[in-house]
Amino acid sequence: MARIQHQALPEELMVKEIFVTKGICQKRMRIMGRGRTGFGYKRSTHVTVRVEVIDFFKQMAQAATSSQREKWARRLDLVNELKTRITNTSL
Q: What is the pLDDT of residues 14-32, one digit of tens each?
A: 999 999 999 999 999 999 9
91: confidence class by pLDDT, cuts 50, 70, 90:
low
Q: Dmax of the chain from CA atoms? A: 71
Whether the predicted model's global pTM rises above the 0.75 cut: no
| CATH topology for the 1-53 domain | Ribosomal Protein L22; Chain A (3.90.470)
What are the backbone dihedrals phi and psi of residue 55, each rounded to the nearest 5 degrees, phi first? Answer: -95, 95
Structure confidence at residue 90 (pLDDT): 72
